[in-house]
Every structure is written in C-alpha cells, then in structure tokens.
Structure 1
C-alpha cells in the first residue's frame, strides 16, 4: 500500500512511478488503488464544489482505466486466477496523465 498524502504533488509522484514499472517501488495495481482512495478522500470536496480539480479527474481516470483494462484484456476465468500485481497498464497512459496534471 502506498503511504502518501492525497495531494496533487503526491499524485504526480505516483504517476511518475507508473512510467517506470521495472524500477518503481509500487505496482500499477497499487497505483490504481491509491488513486481510488484519493478520489474517496476528495469526494466531499467534489460534493461541495460540484467541480472536479484536474488532479481529481486524473486520479478518477486512472482508477477507471485500471478497471476497464482488466475487463477488456482478460476473461472472467483469467481474472479469477490473475496476479494483479503483475498487470501493467501502457506506460504511455501515465505520460498522458502527467501531461494533463497542472503544476
């Protein structure tokens, strides 16, 4: 589990790990799970403002794309026995999310 505060700066660092999965301290699965928790933490903020920050939109997209990637790549039987820690999203996606993340 990634132990980082749920800030835009932490999101940037987590997404950087996704670019380099061979040397990253966390898997793409752990990155997606962290992004899911990021969204849960900021859900109240979204309910108040009604508008997603760019960081929240990106974290939400990472979480959604992880789920879609699994569903679209593996059969139900494969998913039942899959070691999710070995699954890797395309690194280009991480580059795209980083490019969209406002400094």
Structure 2
C-alpha cells in the first residue's frame, strides 16, 4: 500500500479527491493512493446500513478501485507490472471527471 491519505471518509472528501485525480500533475496524491482510499472508504460502509449520502456513492467508490486494478492489468504486461512504480501510473483523467460528475449529481 501507498502512504494512506489522511482524510475522513465523507462525500466531500471523495469529490475533492476525484478533482485531484483530474489534475494528477498538481495533485498531492497519486491515482494509486486515491484508489486505495476509495477501497478503504467502501470497506468501512460495505457491511452496514450507510447514510443515504454515502450509499449513493458506494458504487462509484467501488468503480474507482476496480478500474485501477483493471487499468493496470489491461495496460501493462506481467513483466512490466513486476518492475512498475505504481505511484507514477495515471488512469485517464476523463474517468475522474466522469466519476466526479456522477458523485456530485
């Protein structure tokens, strides 16, 4: 795991992180860190009745983390993955724009 993002698991922080994902060169967080934070957020609420505000973003949280894994698997060979610095990998920024629009709807 990367250095964890120290932000509370709330919708506003999620939307902020998605905005950072749209501008990876100016972001204090890598796409890997954002994906890991999303997974931790999702895990926190996956087995309980989450508040409505959280419930509506649960599928987006899961999608960010899932798409990170799929992007790696579909973009790099197994040899490349063994040598790759995951902190330097960026998913398409349009995905973050789309997730942000969906989360803010």
| TM-score over 0.5 for the pair | yes
Deviations 1:4-55 (A, max 9, x none): 011111100111110110110000010001011011111122xx47x98221
Q: How far, CA to CA, are the matches of 2:98 and 2:70 in structure 1?
A: 17
Q: Stretches of 4+ moved more than 4 A in 1? A: none
**Distance of 1:59 and 1:6 partners within structure 2:** 11
The answer for the alignment partner of 1:63 in structure 2 is 65
Structure 2's unaligned 5+ residue stretches are none
Tell me the matched-pair count: 100
Distance 1:60 1:7 in 2: 15
- For the Cα contact (< 8 Å) 1:55–1:102, is it kept in 2? no
Do structure 1's residue 20 and structure 2's residue 20 form an aligned pair?
A: no
Q: Provide the rounded CA distance (Å) in 2 between the counterparts of 1:79 and 1:42.
A: 30
Q: Over aligned residues, Cα RMSD in angstroms?
A: 1.7
More helix by share: 1
Measured in 1, the distance between the counterparts of 2:9 and 2:100 equals 16
Q: Is the 8 A contact 2:5 2:33 kept in 1?
A: yes
Which residues of structure 1 form unaligned runs of 5+? none
TM-score (normalizing by structure 1): 0.90
The answer (yes or no) to whether the contact 1:36–1:63 under 8 Å persists in 2 is yes
Task: Kindly provide the CA deviation profile for residues 50-98 of structure 1, in whole angstroms up to 9, marking residues without a partner as x.
Answer: x982211111000000000000000111111100000000000000001
